[in-house]
Amino acid sequence: MDPSVIENFCSITGTSEIEARHFLEAFDWNCDEAVKAYFDSEDAIHSSDGSHFDQAIQPPSKSNNEPSLSTFNKPPYSKPKIATL
């Protein structure tokens, strides 16, 4: 076991040494394969719960001074102007 491999894995993924060791041992200390597996597992976790999208989409909280969307007049709905033959 080369400590630089653990350091390399941690610097790329931002994980702890314990988690780095877990992935590296599972992939016979092949750092490239372990990093790929780490990010594949992170993508699967985040895409299944959608939590990272929820945080990115939420708008900032409004202060009492800002107008809300309901204060603006909305144009009346009109049907699309599409001709059919």
Please tell me the distance from the alpha carbon of residue 16 to that of residue 34, in angstroms, as a whole number: 14
The answer to whether residues 9 and 23 touch, using CB atoms and an 8 Å cutoff, is yes
Tokens matching residue 73? 């007049």
pLDDT digits (tens, 9 = 90+) for 54-69: 444 445 555 555 555 5
**C-alpha 77: how far from its chain's center?**
36
Measured CA to CA, the distance from residue 34 to residue 15 in angstroms comes to 12
What tens digit of pLDDT does each residue of 18-57 get? 999 999 999 999 999 999 999 988 776 655 554 444 444 4
Angle at 35 between CA 31 and CA 41, to 5 degrees: 145
Give the integer Cα–Cα distance in Å for 85 and 37. Answer: 55
